Amino acid sequence: MSLLTASGQNVSSHKSPNLIIILADDLGYADVGFNGCQDIPTPNIDKIAAQGVKFTNAYVSYAVCGPSRAGLMTGRYQDRFGFGRNPLFAPNDPEMGLPLSEETLAAALKKGNYKSVALGKWHLGAHESLRPLKRGFDDFYGFLTGGHQYFPELWTLKDEYEVKSQFDAYKTKLLRNNSRVEETEYLTDALSREVVNYIDKYKDEPFFIYLAYNAPHGPLQATQKYLDRFKSVEDPKRKIYAAMVSAIDDGVGDILNKLDQLGLTDNTIICFLSDNGGPEKHNASNNGILRGGKGELFEGGIHVPFAMKWPKKIPEGMVYEKPVISLDIFATIIAQSTIPIKTKNILDGVNLMPYLAGQNTGVPHDYLFWRKFDQHNYASRSANGDKIFVKDNTVNFFNLNQDISENHDLLESNAPKADTLKAYYNNWNSKMKDPIFLGLGSDKAYDENHPNRYIKQH
């Protein structure tokens, strides 16, 4: 198969770059070496930044797992299609997840002859119509819900219909495509093993691998192999957390080594980021100087570690200071070929390559927006660092360039700037949809309205 370039030349589709997205879950901003972490060595993750670009002002589109992933997977603000809540585990509900109106990155890349693999946490719908193989992926190895137990001896439920409550789903056996499997390895290690195997399987074709580790999301569980690396860490919770992050780093090392062995390194884009900020009290993560954490629209909830490498295309050791967002990954990879996207679906992400190559000295985004519908809570920031944080009509104004920790509310002296940010937010918000499904906070109400939630339908 060949693709037509913008200049009208035919090029073999295997020239299209591979893409690997490595998404950590609930990782603190300051818990990687490239952001200054001292107590958890992450040498392999740091290689991505050292051999490519570190983004200092990188964001995700929501402060918790599900909506953030919906944005990443579509390149669009998830509020455009009503994914404004963290979805429940509801295997009989075709509305509880990413709407079928949305084109995933895997579905888009399929038009460019890519092979796509989803590994780990899905959390975009448990109904059979919403699962990875129905959303453009060729392979899936992982679990459907928002979290999971890490030790295989705890995976005691044979399928989704043995689940009796929301968090029971953490105990289901893993899925390979549509079949439950017997796994024997610690979950993070199993996912790392699988990604290496899939790279080998698809090495002769352009591939997209979405590796969604659930680490270091709770429950805090690690094997002795990783715990032994942190004997000097006194806080027992931080020790397990550190071990979980170290397991991810080992997996990243396996990926980098495999690409090197197969000669695929130069033609592979690797992105590493977290789905949201760390919930510091829950998993002992560390967001450093950022205020707040997971679930909040202060910087600690949405401002994440993000590094990207593409040898010979992105300068080594680059530091990029202008605001970017996870939505940009979709637009960046699509722009490397002639793949058409679903025409009615507006992409909110932008192709970052002209900015990283110095061809465009402007800003990728003049404004970025976040909305927590149920909490009457929103935020907006401009490229020059101005940010508003609004909750129940109380407005805070910060300048992030001068006060990244959001310690000083400057509203009194910046009311006109705040009004401008509010006006831009209101214009954006007018194009968004209300949430289309109940979320985690409505588990009990959902059960009352769906008494057959976990009963297999015939």
Q: How far from chain centre, in Å, is Cα 224?
A: 28
The number of residues in the chain equals 458
Catalytic-role residue among 37, 65, 148, 217 = 65
At what angle are helices 43-50 and 236-261 packed, to 10 degrees? 50
For residue 83, what are the CA distances in angstroms to 68, 244, 443? 9, 29, 16
CA dihedral 266, 314, 136, 275 (to 10 degrees): 120
The per-residue DSSP string of 28-56 comes to: -TTSSGGGT-SSS--HHHHHHHHTSEEES
CB 11 within 8 A of CB 62: no
What does the alpha-carbon distance between residue 242 and residue 306 come to, in Å, rounded to a whole number? 19
For residue 457, the one-letter residue type is Q
Catalytic-role residue among 123, 148, 303, 365 = 123
What does the alpha-carbon distance between residue 157 and residue 453 come to, in Å, rounded to a whole number? 16
Catalytic residue list contains 450: no
CB 65 within 8 A of CB 123: yes
Catalytic residue list contains 37: no
Which of 54, 76, 55 is CA-nearest to residue 67? Answer: 76
Phi, psi of 66 (to 5 degrees): -60, -55
Beta-bridge mates of residue 119: 141, 211
Q: How far from chain centre, in Å, is Cα 436?
A: 21
What does the alpha-carbon distance between residue 339 and residue 28 come to, in Å, rounded to a whole number? 35
SS3 81: helix
Catalytically active residues, by annotation: 65, 123
